[in-house]
Amino acid sequence: MAGESELREVRLEGDDGSSAAIRTQGATLTSWKTADGQERIFVSSTAKYERGAAIRGGVPVCWPQFAMRGPLRQQHGFARNSTWQVARQDKASVVLTLDETTAKLAEGWSAPFALEMEVSLGKDTLTQELRVRNTDPTQSLSFTTALHTYFTVSDLPSVEISGLQGLQYDDNARNGAIVTEQGDRVRIEGEVDRLYEAVPGAVELRHAGGGVRLLRHALPDVVVWNPAEDKASRLADLSDWRGFVCIEAAHAAGAPVELAPGASWVGRQEMSKL
Ligand SMILES: O=P(O)(O)OC[C@H]1O[C@@H](O)[C@H](O)[C@@H](O)[C@@H]1O
């Protein structure tokens, strides 16, 4: 049975009539409704709201490693499985924090750190800023990361993702083959699990029911993921693989972020309605 702190949800209201919800469980954004009433974020109806679990859907924070790109044996790290603290909140923004004393640390992790996640609503936009500080006085801190956004889509076959043409990607649905994106629109046909490297500008998602533009700062790479039917059937907490596509702003492909003792890093994504 989850305690109250795991189930705590912070709700935000934007001046433009938009709203958002963030769980202390993983600092996971679980809803962004634009002023037109459209829900832009997908959460599985069978997601687990339990201490130590990650929420299937929303925007889990992958830290201190994306996938298995780091020293831990825990996919996507431990920030998404940890209960964060609410540090500050007002009507349209919230800051949540996590450090080594409050996190559910993965086996093998001993470095101290201070994380902040700020979520804020603006006109037709939602911004998430992840701030990382190395609180160790002598050792450097190394990490990979991603904001693992599950965008809700009305009709998966209508999905078109632009902004990736000509870029190289690791195709994790094809044993990590290195491929160059030829098309100007990526479509979701079967399992898609791609890590696009060094994406220079905005990525746009369009589907029959709407669209979103994703801008990134210090998160150079972009992951596109949908498991399709076969893989989805092995994910017990995923209700509907046709209801979403993940577009993940990441620092994952090249060298990890290296923070000197006392140094800080800021990564940000801004989603806006198209
Ligand atoms: O099931 P998890 O750990 O939440 O991961 C979901 C997916 O996350 C994506 O970021 C990865 O590229 C996929 O390989 C992975 O399957």
Six-digit token string for 121: 């609503």
Place of tokens 């201070």: 114
Report the catalytic residues.
Answer: 148, 248
CA 185, CA 243: separation in Å to the nearest integer? 19
- Residue closest to 121 by CA, chosen among 35, 202, 188: 35
**Range 128-149 average pLDDT:** 98
Residue 63 has a pLDDT of: 98
Residue 186 has a pLDDT of: 98
Residue 173 has a pLDDT of: 97
Angle CA 178–254–266, to nearest 5:
135
Beta-strand ranges (E) seen in the chain are 9-13, 19-23, 28-33, 61-62, 85-90, 93-99, 114-122, 125-133, 141-143, 145-152, 160-162, 168-171, 177-180, 192-196, 203-207, 210-217, 221-226, 244-251, 257-259, 264-273
pLDDT tens-place string over residues 218-272: 999 999 999 999 999 999 999 999 999 999 999 999 999 999 999 999 999 999 9
CB 82 within 8 A of CB 55: no
CA 203, CA 200: separation in Å to the nearest integer? 9
Residue nearest to atom 7 of ligand 1 (CA): 225
pLDDT tens-place string over residues 24-75: 999 999 999 999 999 999 999 999 999 899 999 999 999 999 999 999 999 9
* Atom of ligand 1 lying closest to residue 60 CA: 4
Residues annotated within the binding site for substrate are: 56, 75, 80
CA 84, CA 81: separation in Å to the nearest integer? 9
Ligand 1 binding site (Cβ under 6 Å of any ligand atom): 67, 75-76, 148, 172, 193, 223, 225, 248
Residue 3 has a pLDDT of: 52
**Range 13-18 average pLDDT:** 98
Residue 160 has a pLDDT of: 98
pLDDT tens-place string over residues 77-133: 999 999 999 999 999 999 999 999 999 999 999 999 999 999 999 999 999 999 999
pTM listed for this prediction:
0.97
Residue 61 has a pLDDT of: 98
**Range 145-167 average pLDDT:** 98
Share the mean pLDDT of the chain: 96
**Range 184-213 average pLDDT:** 98
Helix (H, G, I), strand (E, B) or coil at 193: strand
Q: By percentage, how much of the chain surpasses pLDDT 90?
A: 97
CB-CB neighbours of 248 under 10 Å: 26
Helix (H, G, I), strand (E, B) or coil at 5: helix
* Atom of ligand 1 lying closest to residue 62 CA: 10
Residue 30 has a pLDDT of: 98
Task: Tell me the backbone φ, ψ of residue 15, rounded to 5 degrees.
Answer: -65, -25
How sure is the predictor about 1, in pLDDT bands with cuts at 50, 70 and 90?
A: very low
ipTM value: 0.99
What DSSP character marks residue 256?
P
Six-digit token string for 192: 């898609």
Q: Probe ligand 1: pick from 221, 225, 234, 235, max atoms within 8 Å of CB?
A: 225
Cα-Cα-Cα-Cα dihedral sign, residues 216, 218, 220, 222: negative
